[in-house]
Amino acid sequence: MPDGKTTPAIIAADSNVFKVAAIQMASGPNVAGNLSEARRLIARAAEQGAKLVVLPEFFAIMGMTDQDKLGVCESAGSGPIQDFLSEAARTHGVWLIGGSIPRTSGSADKVFNTCMVFDDQGMEVAHYDKIHLFSLSLGNEHYDEAQTIASGDKIVVFDSPFGRIGLGICYDLRFPELFRAMKNVDIIALPAAFTETTGKMHWETLIRARAIENLAYVIASAQGGYHVNGRETHGNSMIVDPWGRVLDRLPRGSGVVIAEVSRPYQASLRSSLPALHHRTMHNC
């Protein structure tokens, strides 16, 4: 470039080997406090060389009740949480996948659970509204996201300097057909807030399965710990390579998971095991 400078994204694309980060939090009902913690962790990830950073589901608010998110929902392109994401991406020169935030759905009593993506200039490049809504009735635990969340209806994949990235949120992880419909993505970003009950049995198995069957890297950023509202989330944010290896993880608490993505390594695996080309039921 004429001024002798290169943006972080271009550096990553030129090298084909770059660092990514999954951020883990134990968010509470105070939005300002959660944003402050997210800011600190994004800065740490950038300092460690991450060029692509993923926040957890509802990183900005885990309310005392399910209805609390309705009070802080934002319209598309406007609001303090979206402003924060844009500013953080620009300040730290990273592509930022903003976990998920509550955005208006057109219904007064429901929001979209939306994952937003910002490039290293702070511009929004994609957003995804969670399709599969979690429900569970097991012992003393009862969840029904459909009471306060409207379901999205569009699969979202976007091109980036790091390859094709597909977006899912939490419960989406249980539906492999969603990820196969993304058509050979290089990276799957999965913000989540898995319960401890389901997570301790299923979380790692499902993440590694999605990585293996798609020969893709998976960046799984989770809520992890005890929350003010009494909920316990599983944590174990992790980055998994296309062969199913866990490259790094964080069992509990706030922190950053870092790993290196190698596109030549991924290409060699796909060449050695061309399973994606051997599919015979493409339209199922």
Only one residue has tokens 């290169």, namely 6
| DSSP classification of residue 273 | S
**Catalytic annotation, pick one of 51, 115, 145, 170:** 170
Following DSSP, what letter does each residue of 87-142 receive, concatenated?
HHHHHHT-EEE---EEEEEEETTEEEEEEEEE-TTS-EEEEEE--SPPEEEETTEE
Cα–Cα distances in angstroms (integers) from residue 205 to residues 62, 106, 110, 123, 125, in the given order: 25, 36, 31, 34, 30
What 3-state DSSP class applies to 251?
coil
Whether 200 is catalytic: no
**In the numeric block, which tokens belong to residue 144?**
């029904």
Whether 57 is catalytic: yes
φ/ψ of 269, rounded to 5, equals -65, -40
What 3-state DSSP class applies to 257?
strand
**Catalytic annotation, pick one of 19, 37, 51, 57:** 57
In the sheet that 157-160 helps form, which strands lie side by side, from edge to edge? 157-160, 163-167, 187-192, 217-222, 237-240, 246-250
Contact indicator for 152, 131 with CB cutoff of 8 Å: yes
- Distance separating alpha carbons of residues 164 and 266, to the nearest angstrom: 13
Other C-beta atoms closer than 10 Å to the C-beta of 215 total 22
**Catalytic annotation, pick one of 37, 69, 130, 145:** 130
Given 3-state DSSP classes, what are the helix, strand and coil percentages for the chain, each rounded to the nearest 5? 30, 35, 35
- Active centre residues (catalytic): 57, 130, 170
